[in-house]
Structure 1
Amino acid sequence: MTRTALLFPLAGLLTLAQLAGCRGEPTTPTRPDQMLSVGDLASKSPAATVERDVATLRAATTRFHRFDAARKASYTYLFMNTCMTDGSAPSRGAMGYHYVNTGLLDGTVDVATPEALLYEPGAQGELALVGVEYVIPQAAWAGPGKPKLFGREFTLNGFGLWALHVWAWRDNPSGIFADWNPRVSCEHASAGASAMAAH
């Protein structure tokens, strides 16, 4: 089964709300045989380690503010072909569009190479990079317990994916690792879809 095939059968069966819960400086990948959290690397100051790794993430993804750069780096698969908004009341916000590099969907994650980039559509059809998502397909994870990165455990979502969001490029009052961001909107999703069709 290809990595992309892991996503397609589930995408049509589940609601958007079920998704929630949904190389510069060398970093330590999470592997089944050597699961190291970011916090494990500096037990005396885990907060400083997380700050360092968020800085590494930003340095590695700053070029993706230009969507063309993301596309050239193989972030081309638009997950579920929709801008994701929380449907609960009151709404917890949105995630935006998920552009996935399916070549990264395996049993490992790395701070500098997130599997998905999150974009908010703008009124003029522009796409603003707001965050990233690290993803491990459930079938690919063979490690003990849950995968970890940034000292945080991943959540197994309704799509059969271990996932961790990091709002590296848009402040999130719910927290940098929250699933939804109330400061992200899909209000202009139709304009964003028009822009994406032109790419």
Structure 2
Amino acid sequence: MPNQAELTQQNRNGRKALLALALAAPLIAAVALFPPTAVGDQDPPAVDEHAAHAAGLQDELARVRAATAKFHRVEVAEAAGYELGWVNGLNKRIVDTCISNPTAGAMGYHYFNADLMADNDVDALEPEVLVYAPAPDGGLKLVAVEWVVRSAQSNPVGVSEAPSVLGMDMHILVPPPGPAFYLTHAWVWANNPAGMFADFNPEVSC
């Protein structure tokens, strides 16, 4: 039978064990909730692909602006081979007036580059068309660029599949008996409430 001294020592040891357990409990819980992870096993931070694409597109548009800044004067564009309208396979000049829409607004005057139209290819920094809108002083101001490729329904005929520019497929706005061009506008020199790549601009009028 243990004596009084032994009972006292056992009580002290018991209290120490309970205290140690109480102190260790939060640490055990923390380890359970937040298990250790090796640095090499951590997932990389998520990438906002939409933001990355938008940033890349803005860079591309900035390069388009830089490439076309010299064409604010129509005379400079004409000297570089751009002329009002397009001469089709029937030797008829078309798209040579101020293009507008009764509800969507207008585009303006289209100055085509025949050499760029001839190759059925697209270079974002060499748009086939420069679009000018009437200016308050009676002249013309550069408002947009337009990439244009002849389709299989154009005259003369072009490509049978929609080309792309700036990562976007081009579209046919005016099918036969219209010119049936694949095209994409970019309003790099004017605000367009309808959007950067809309065909018409409600703030432009003929």
TM-score of the pair, normalised by structure 1: 0.66
Q: After superposition, where does 1:94-133 map in structure 2 within 5 Å?
A: 94-105=106-117, 106-133=119-146
Q: After superposition, where does 1:9-28 map in structure 2 within 5 Å?
A: none
Partner of 2:4: none
Aligned-partner SS, 1:45: helix
**Does structure 1 retain, via aligned residues, the 8 Å contact 2:105–2:200?**
yes
Partner of 2:159: 141
Gaps of 5+ in 2: 1-48, 87-94, 152-156
Aligned-partner SS, 1:165: strand
Question: 1:125 offset after TM fit, Å?
Answer: 2.4
Question: 1:43 offset after TM fit, Å?
Answer: 9.0
Gaps of 5+ in 1: 1-41, 187-199
Q: Over aligned residue pairs, what C-alpha RMSD do you find? A: 1.9
Partner of 1:51: 58
**Does structure 2 retain, via aligned residues, the 8 Å contact 1:170–1:183?**
no
Q: After superposition, where does 1:30-179 map in structure 2 within 5 Å?
A: 45-79=52-86, 80-87=95-102, 91-105=103-117, 106-138=119-151, 139-141=157-159, 145-157=161-173, 158=175, 159-179=179-199
Question: Counterparts of 2:51 and 2:186 in 1: how far apart (Å)?
Answer: 23
Question: Counterparts of 1:150 and 1:137 in 2: how far apart (Å)?
Answer: 18
Deviations 1:99-146 (A, max 9, x none): 00011013211111000000011243211000011000013225xx52
Question: Counterparts of 1:93 and 1:126 in 2: how far apart (Å)?
Answer: 19
Aligned-partner SS, 2:188: coil
* Aligned pairs, number: 140
Higher relative contact order (CA 8 A, sep 6+): 1
Question: Counterparts of 2:185 and 2:59 in 1: how far apart (Å)?
Answer: 17
Question: 1:55 offset after TM fit, Å?
Answer: 0.5
Aligned-partner SS, 1:47: helix
One-letter identity of the residue aligned with 1:178: A
Who wins on radius of gyration, i.e. which is larger? 2
**Does structure 2 retain, via aligned residues, the 8 Å contact 1:77–1:102?**
no
Question: 1:68 offset after TM fit, Å?
Answer: 1.2
TM-score of the pair, normalised by structure 2: 0.63
Identity of aligned residues (%): 39
